[in-house]
Each structure stands twice: as C-alpha cells, then as structure tokens.
Amino acid sequence: MIVTVVDIYVKSEKIDEFIEATTLNHKSSVMEEGNLRFDFLQDRSKPNHFLLYEAYESEDAAAAHKKTDHYLKWKSTVEGWMERPRIGTQTNVIEPSDIASWKR
C-alpha cells in the first residue's frame, strides 16, 4: 500500500472553483482499480489550504492514477490557481497493515 499526502495552497479568489474541480476528480478517483481512499480536506483555519489523502493498493495503482483522463484534466485546470506548487509526500502505511481493514 502507498499513501500520498498532497499539500495545496490555492489563490483565495479560486477556492470555490478549486473545490468544484477537485470534487469531480475525487469522485472519479475513488472508482479507480486499486484505490483505497481519496480524501479531499480543507484547513479550517486557512480556507485556501487543502490536503489530498490518496491511498492505493500498490505503486502501480498510484502511477496509473496519474495517467487517467480525470487526473490530467484536474491538473491542467487547477495548476494556475495555486499560490505555490503543490507538494506530494509519499508515505509507507504502518497501520492498518491488512488491506482488508481499509474501508472506502
């Protein structure tokens, strides 16, 4: 399993558009083969700060996500709306270690 946490700061005037575009990406991402979770989070104290929590069964499934039409559309749509380039941190999952423990 692999989890990537993506840290994103969006220009304040683009928050609503970013939420709309990322919600569409989320809805398609959770349907992907090998996707375990795709959480879209907004910082309560900084409304222009977002996190994506993306969990995939394997490196191959995570890599396949970046080739999907919905991801490529999302990326090209939102890139100009960011205050700074997004930062993705790839992590190893310690717990839950059993894939059967993951819920969608």
Q: What is the DSSP string of 36-95?
A: EEEEEEE-SS-TTEEEEEEEESSHHHHHHHTTSHHHHHHHHHHGGGBSS--EEEEEE--S
Residue 104 lies in a domain: no
Q: What is the per-residue pLDDT for 42?
A: 98
Contacts of 36 (CB under 8 A, 6+ apart): 1, 55, 56, 57, 99, 102, 104
CATH number of 85's domain: 3.30.70.100
Residue 59 lies in a domain: yes
pLDDT band at 102 (very low <50, low <70, confident <90, very high): confident
Tokens 């930062």 -> residue = 87
Calculate helix-pair angle for 69-78, 15-29, nearest 10 degrees: 170
Average pLDDT along the chain: 94
The model carries a pTM of 0.91
Q: Within 10 A of 95 (CB to CB), how many other CB atoms are there? A: 6
First and final C-alpha spacing in the chain: 14
Q: What is the per-residue pLDDT for 59?
A: 92
Residue 102 lies in a domain: no
pLDDT tens track for 86-98: 999 999 888 888 8
Q: Which domain holds residue 7?
A: 2-95
Q: What total of structural domains would you count in the chain?
A: 1
Residue 63 lies in a domain: yes
Residue 103 lies in a domain: no
